[in-house]
Structure formats: structure tokens, C-alpha cells
């Protein structure tokens, strides 16, 4: 059955043809609903190569104003029996200017989201300036911008998921988004959240999204709820599927049918992908599944 839903606000639109494999969001055409999650191409170094694998969109970054090394190694661990990854990378990246140069040179026209964050040595009371700095620089070249406040590997970052801190940050970013729109056209802002909020926390976040007209939600980042032998860090992959899908279901219920949601977390197979769509995702991302299964997973999900 084919249905079309259209939402208009501030000149953007969302139009989905249910049951089809294509999607138009905010005047941006997604040839399929499967994307690469943030953190694999942190610097935009591999855009054309990744696009050629068949993804419908890519999210690059997370990028920060200044280049930074991230946490000391070892900081990335695979747990093969449980099909999980534990990472405490800490936003290692070459800085936003490098990423923008890569975006300028790309040949593929695949939709690209750019994930932005703050440098590790920026205190939280100055974090707004880091996000605004990155937003200014990537806005012209991104199809959407993802606000990453949910990495567990930058000290204190998840404090921005708390009500007042979140409201202040979002308000500043929305104001700047509208200023930048005059020059570059409308670019949606998505907020990426953790799977570790309780129901009340998810309600608060969704309330802020609606109150400040944030354009979309990414559900979810990695979880800190594990006691893996490798120590602290965010866990992704198969064990994350349940908690991240639960967050997605709750958020969808609060936000309503029309609110754009990208699902991320634990998609290791076509079945998992369909579970995300069933829970209310408009678009779905993979990372750990791509590491374990390779590019074949893209074909399995889209063509089998
Ligand atoms: C090594 C690694 C690095 C990551 N870096 C980022 C990042 O920089 N920004 C971000 O928003 N998410 C980052 N993530 C989280 C992923 O984008 C994704 O949300 C998470 O891994 C859950 O999806 P998955 O189970 O398919 O991997 C990272 C994940 C991994 C495994």
C-alpha cells in the first residue's frame, strides 16, 4: 500500500512513499533508506568510496573545531562472540576545516549529514561556541547537520541531554540555523541521543525537540551499560539493538508519525533493519554490522 505524508514548516518538507525504498526529506532525495552512521569516516576522507558501496546516505564526523588526537590507545575493541564493539575513541579527528575541504572536493551527490561536536579541552560552559563554529563552517556543504551530545567518550558531553543544558544549546543552534538559511538555504538539524536515558529523560529530550522545532532525531549512539573486560567506552553492535530500538519506540510515540527519525544501533542483518522500520524509523544507519559483515550487509539489506 502506498501512502504519502507531507509536513511543511519553514519551507522544508518531508514526503515518504511508504512501502517504497526511496524517501524525500527536506528536499533531499534518498535513493534508499540505509546510511552509514557517524564515526567511521570522521574526516570525510572516504566519501566517494563509501558512496559507491550502495548506501543511500552517509553521516561523516564527528568533527570538532580544532584537530585532536582523541583518547590514548588501546581505545577500540572487538568482542567477536557477542558481535559487539567497545570504543573510547574520544572524537579523534583532523578538525572541521579538513572535513570541509573534503566535502568541497567530493564527486558523489549522495546526501551527507555532518556530525559536529566539541573539543575535549573546551569546558561545557563554552561548548556552544564549538558547536556554532562547526555549524557555521559545514552548513553550506551538508544536507543535514547532526548535533552529537551523546558520545560517552568526551567527559561531560552527555550532560547536554539534561533539560536546561539541552534547551540552551538547541536554542543557540536553531537561531544560527535560521541566520545561515538566508544565505545557504534550509538545512535540517538532527539531534543524536544516547540509549541510556530513562523514559522521563527521553520525554524531556523529545519535549525540547518539539519546543524548539529541531528537525529530526537520531536514535541512538552507543551504550555505557556494559561491563566488558576492555573497560570503559561505548558499546555498539548486536547487544545494542534492544535498548536502542526501545528508545526509538518511545521517542516515536512522543514525537508522532511525522517527525523525522534516523535509527542507529545494533543493525547486523536485514531482520534488524526491518525491526527499526517497524519501530518507526524513517532512515536506518549501520556501523558495527558493516565492520562485522562487510559491504555484503548493504546488499543483504537492500536487495535480498
Ligand atoms: C569506533 C566507533 C566510533 C564512533 N564514533 C562516533 C562519532 O564520532 N560520532 C557519533 O555520533 N557516533 C559515533 N559512533 C556511534 C555510531 O555512529 C553508532 O551510532 C553506534 O555505533 C550504534 O550503531 P551500530 O550498533 O550499528 O554500530 C561510533 C561508533 C564506533 C563503533
Domains of the chain by range and CATH?
4-303 (3.20.20.70)
How much distance in Å is there from the Cα of 126 to the middle of ligand 1? 24
To the query of whether residue 151 is one of the catalytic residues in this protein, the response is: yes
Of 115, 150, 151, 264, which is the active-site residue?
151
Cis previous bond, 272, omega within 30 = no
Pairing of β 12-17 and β 4-9? antiparallel
Q: Nearest residue CA, atom 11 of ligand 1?
A: 38
**Residues 125, 186, 141: CA angle, nearest 5 degrees:** 80
Provide the residue count of the chain.
304
pLDDT recorded at residue 95: 98
Helices (H) and strands (E) in the chain, counts: 9, 15
pLDDT recorded at residue 176: 98
Backbone angles phi, psi at 294, to 5 degrees: 80, -175
Q: Nearest residue CA, atom 3 of ligand 1?
A: 39
Pairing of β 261-264 and β 283-286? parallel
C-alpha cell of 128?
A: 556552544
C-alpha cell of 178?
A: 535560521
**Which residues 6+ apart lie within 8 Å of 100 measured at CB?**
137, 138, 141
Neighbouring-strand partners of residue 301: none
Looking at the CA of residue 42, tell me the nearest atom of ligand 1. Answer: 8
| Probe target for ligand 1 pocket from 34, 37, 158, with the most ligand atoms within 8 Å of CB | 37
Of the candidates 7, 41, 37, the residue with the CA atom closest to the CA atom of residue 24: 7
Looking at the CA of residue 61, tell me the nearest atom of ligand 1. Answer: 8
Looking at the CA of residue 238, tell me the nearest atom of ligand 1. Answer: 25
How much distance in Å is there from the Cα of 168 to the middle of ligand 1? 25
Q: 175 to each of 124, 181, 191, how far by Cα in Å? A: 19, 10, 15
CA 114 to chain CA centroid, Å, is 8
Per-residue model confidence as pLDDT tens digits over 189-223: 999 999 999 999 999 999 999 999 999 999 999 99
pLDDT recorded at residue 16: 52
Cis previous bond, 115, omega within 30 = no
How much distance in Å is there from the Cα of 188 to the middle of ligand 1? 21
Per-residue model confidence as pLDDT tens digits over 4-30: 333 333 333 455 544 557 888 777 899
How much distance in Å is there from the Cα of 40 to the middle of ligand 1? 7
Q: 217 to each of 122, 208, 237, 274, how far by Cα in Å? A: 25, 11, 20, 18
Q: Nearest residue CA, atom 21 of ligand 1?
A: 236
From first to last of the 304 residues of the chain, give the pLDDT tens digit. Answer: 233 333 333 333 455 544 557 888 777 899 999 999 999 999 999 999 999 999 999 999 999 999 999 999 999 999 999 999 999 999 999 999 999 999 999 999 999 999 999 999 999 999 999 999 999 999 999 999 999 999 999 999 989 999 899 999 999 999 999 999 999 999 999 999 999 999 999 999 999 999 999 999 999 999 999 999 999 999 999 999 999 999 999 999 999 999 999 999 999 999 999 999 999 999 999 999 999 999 999 999 999 8
Show the ligand 1 pocket: residues with CB < 6 angstroms: 37-39, 42, 62, 76, 85, 87, 89, 91, 115, 148, 151, 192, 221-222, 236-237, 240, 264-267, 286-289
| Backbone dihedral region for residue 26 (phi beyond 0: left; psi -120 to 50: alpha; all else: beta) | left
Amino acid at each position: 500500500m502506498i501512502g504519502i505524508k507531507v509536513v511543511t514548516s519553514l519551507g522544508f518538507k518531508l514526503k515518504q512513499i511508504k512501502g517504497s525504498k526511496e524517501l524525500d526529506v527536506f528536499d533531499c532525495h534518498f535513493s534508499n533508506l540505509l546510511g552509514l552512521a557517524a564515526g567511521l569516516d570522521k574526516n570525510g576522507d572516504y566519501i566517494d568510496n563509501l558512496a559507491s558501496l550502495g548506501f543511500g546516505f552517509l553521516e561523516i564526523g564527528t568533527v570538532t573545531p580544532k584537530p585532536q588526537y582523541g583518547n590514548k590507545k588501546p581505545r577500540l575493541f572487538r568482542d567477536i562472540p557477542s558481535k559487539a564493539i567497545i570504543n573510547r575513541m574520544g572524537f579523534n579527528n583532523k578538525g572541521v576545516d579538513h572535513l570541509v575541504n573534503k566535502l568541497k572536493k567530493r564527486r558523489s551527490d549522495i546526501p551527507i549529514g555532518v556530525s559536529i561536536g566539541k573539543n575535549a579541552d573546551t569546558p561545557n560552559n563554552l561548548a556552544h561556541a564549538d558547536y556554532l563554529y562547526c555549524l557555521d563552517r559545514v552548513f553550506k556543504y551538508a544536507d543535514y547537520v547532526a548535533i552529537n551530545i551523546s558520545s560517552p567518550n568526551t567527559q561531560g558531553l552527555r550532560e547536554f541531554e539534561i533539560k536546561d543544558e539541552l534547551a540552551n544549546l538547541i536554542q543557540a543552534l536553531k537561531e544560527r540555523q535560521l541566520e545561515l538559511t538566508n544565505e545557504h538555504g534550509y538545512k535540517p538539524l538532527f539531534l543524536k541521543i544516547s540509549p541510556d536515558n530513562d523514559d522521563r529523560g527521553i520525554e524531556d529530550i523529545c519535549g525540547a525537540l518539539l519546543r524548539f522545532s529541531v528537525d529530526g532525531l537520531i536514535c541512538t549512539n552507543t551504550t555505557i551499560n556494559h561491563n566488558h573486560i576492555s573497560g570503559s567506552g561505548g558499546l555498539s553492535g548486536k547487544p545494542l539493538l534492544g535498548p536502542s530500538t526501545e528508545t526509538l519506540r518511545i521517542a516515536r510515540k512522543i514525537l508522532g508519525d511525522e517527525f523525522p527519525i534516523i535509527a542507529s544501533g545494533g543493525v547486523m542483518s536485514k531482520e534488524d533493519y526491518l525491526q527499526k522500520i517497524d519501530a518507526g524509523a524513517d532512515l536506518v544507519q549501520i556501523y558495527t554490522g558493516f565492520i562485522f559483515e562487510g559491504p555484503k550487509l548493504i546488499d543483504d539489506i537492500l536487495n535480498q
